[in-house]
């Protein structure tokens, strides 16, 4: 399981703007000192860097109150920053590195930024990494001041809830509940998809019928156009034949008229000759 190698704090609570480094070792590490020396602030710093959101749990009114407020000799810090170093040689964290470094910084406006192994990231990603090693800022990896007394005074039901949470049962129940809700949502989505598919199929059937009708219309229209062309060609040929026949009749009439005219001329000529000889 990963363990803390060291903790670095800068501008955090009473530690001032200088960087304070607290080394840890595998196993138990005891932090001792006089009252007011800042022992409890180390626990607050760990809770802070792991993504804790409750200012009250870190003994502050607001998250921004964690920033060093300054003294007569030292100005206030511009931000509070805590960096925690985990040994990850057993790959308890899903990170391909022997060391996992998480850093959090908070500004006077309450805005927080996070880093993982030097890369800017989100609180959600930090919590996902911690969850893989069964670590949670809202869990009981950290036992804060007064928690033991509070645990002793709890009712059996409340104590059982905490044990379930520590053992992972409540997390399993929460994941199971979430999975069931997602399954229900998925089933509802499937039902809506089935209705949509049914409606789309009806539309497709309608469109298929309209397509077939359109194809039949285009086919009949094409046949009609061909029939019209055929009729038109036939009519043109018929008219051409009539014109030709009419022209031939006109020529015949002209020939007959010329013949009649020639005969009339001969008759008139003969009459004139007779008259002249008398």
pLDDT score at 119: 94
**Burial (0-12, 13-18, 19+ Cβ within 10 Å), 261:** exposed
Query: What pLDDT sits at residue 146?
Result: 63
Residue 99 contacts residue 86 (beta carbons within 8 Å):
yes
Predicted TM-score (pTM) of this structure: 0.56
Spatial distance between the Cα atoms of 233 and 127, rounded to a whole number of angstroms: 86
- The answer to whether 94 and 132 are in contact (CB under 8 A) is yes
pLDDT exceeds 70 at position 171? no
pLDDT, tens digit (0-9, with 9 covering 90-100), for 223-261: 999 999 999 998 899 899 999 888 888 888 888 888 888
Over the range 131-151, which residues count as b (16 or more CB within 10 Å of their CB) and which as e?
eebebbbebeebeeeeeeeee
Q: What's the average model confidence in pLDDT over 89-96? A: 90
How do residues 176-213 score in pLDDT, each as one tens digit? 888 898 899 999 999 999 989 988 998 998 899 999 99
- Taking each helix axis from N to C end, the angle separating 169-277 and 156-167, rounded to the nearest 10 degrees, works out to 60
Amino acid 168: pLDDT: 60
pLDDT computed for residue 278 by the predictor: 66
- Parse the chain into domains and list their residue ranges: 3-143
Q: What is the pLDDT of residues 263-278, one digit of tens each?
A: 888 888 888 877 777 6
Mean pLDDT of the 25-34 span:
79
Domain 3-143 is classified in which CATH homologous superfamily? P-loop containing nucleotide triphosphate hydrolases (3.40.50.300)
Identify the weakest region by mean pLDDT among 42-46, 51-55, 169-173: 169-173
- pLDDT over 80 at 158, yes or no: no
- Which among 46, 36, 54, 53 has a CA at the least distance from the CA of 9? 46
Instruction: Return the pLDDT at 59.
Output: 84
């Amino acid at each position: 399981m990963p363990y803390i190698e060291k903790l670095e704090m800068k501008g955090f609570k009473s530690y001032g703007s200088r960087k304070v480094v607290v080394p840890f070792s595998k196993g138990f590490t005891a932090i001792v000192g006089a009252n007011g020396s800042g022992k409890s602030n180390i626990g607050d710093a760990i809770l802070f860097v792991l993504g804790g959101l409750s200012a009250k749990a870190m003994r502050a009114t607001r998250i921004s109150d964690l920033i060093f407020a300054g003294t007569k000799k030292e100005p206030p810090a511009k931000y509070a920053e805590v960096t925690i170093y985990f040994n990850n040689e057993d790959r308890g964290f899903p990170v391909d590195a022997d060391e996992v470094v998480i850093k959090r910084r908070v500004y006077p406006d309450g805005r927080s930024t996070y880093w993982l192994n030097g890369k800017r990231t989100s609180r959600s990603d930090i919590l996902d990494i911690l969850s893989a090693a069964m670590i949670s800022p809202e869990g009981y990896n950290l036992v804060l001041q007064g928690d033991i007394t509070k645990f002793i005074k709890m009712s059996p039901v409340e104590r059982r809830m905490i044990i379930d949470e520590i053992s992972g049962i409540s997390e399993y129940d929460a994941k199971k509940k979430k999975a069931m809700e997602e399954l229900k949502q998925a089933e509802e989505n499937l039902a809506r998809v089935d209705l949509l598919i049914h409606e789309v199929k009806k539309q497709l059937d309608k469109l298929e019928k309209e397509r077939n009708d359109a194809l039949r219309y285009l086919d009949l229209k094409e046949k009609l156009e061909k029939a019209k062309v055929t009729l038109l060609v036939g009519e043109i040929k018929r008219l051409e034949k009539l014109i030709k026949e009419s022209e031939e009749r006109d020529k015949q009439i002209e020939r007959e008229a010329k013949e009649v005219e020639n005969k009339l001329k001969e008759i008139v000529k003969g009459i004139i000759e007779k008259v002249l000889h008398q």
